[in-house]
Amino acid sequence: MVIAVLAPALDAMSAARKMRGPIHLHRSLFSKMSLTPEAIATLSRVSTATITTVLLKKGLRNVWMRGTKPLRPGQPRLVGPAFTLRFVPAREDLATPESWSSPISTRTAIEAMPEGCIAVVDAMGVTDAGIFGDILCARMVKRGVTALVTDGVVRDLEGVLGTGLPVWCDGFAAPPSVAGLTFVGWGEPIGCGGVAIFPNDIIVADQDGAVLIPQAFLDLILAEGAEQERMEAWIVNEVNGGAVLPGLYPMNAETKARYAASKK
pLDDT, one tens digit per residue, over 126-156 is 999 999 999 999 999 999 999 999 999 999 9
How high is the pLDDT of residue 34? 65
Q: Are residues 69 and 145 in the same domain?
A: yes
What number is the average pLDDT over the span 111-127?
98
Distance between alpha carbon 68 and the CA centroid of its chain, in Å?
A: 8
Which is more confident, 46 or 23?
A: 46
208 inside domain: yes
Within 13 Å, how many C-alpha atoms sit on residue 238's CB side? Answer: 20
Percentage of the chain exceeding pLDDT 90: 81
Domain count, the chain: 2
Give the structural domain span for 92: 2-32+63-213
42 part of a folded domain: no
The dihedrals phi and psi of 26, each to the nearest 5 degrees, come to -70, -35
Confidence of residue 101 (pLDDT cuts 50, 70, 90): confident
- For 25-91, give the DSSP string: HHHHHHHT----HHHHHHHTTS-HHHHHHHHHHTT----EETT-EESSTTPPPEEEEEEEEEEEE--
Q: In this predicted structure, what is the pLDDT of residue 27?
A: 38
Residue 12: pLDDT band by 50, 70, 90 thresholds? Answer: very low
Name every residue whose Cβ is closer than 8 Å to that of residue 46 and which is 6 or more positions away in sequence: 204, 221, 225, 226, 228, 229
CATH number, domain of 195, equals 3.50.30.40
Q: pLDDT tens digits, residue range 2-11?
A: 333 344 444 4
User: Band of the pLDDT at 26, cuts 50, 70, 90?
Assistant: very low
Helix 218-240 with 253-262: angle, nearest 10 deg: 100
Report the pLDDT averaged over residues 61-86: 97
45, part of any domain: no
Clarify whether residues 96 and 226 are in a common domain. Answer: no
State the average pLDDT over residues 55-64.
97
Instruction: Answer yes or no: do 196 and 251 share one domain.
Output: no
* Residue, of 16 and 190, whose pLDDT is higher: 190
pLDDT band at 124 (very low <50, low <70, confident <90, very high): very high
Q: Between 10 and 236, whose confidence is greater?
A: 236
Do 187 and 226 reside in the same domain of the chain? no
Tell me the average pLDDT across 193-215: 98
Q: Does residue 167 fall inside a structural domain?
A: yes
**Predicted TM-score of the model (pTM):** 0.85
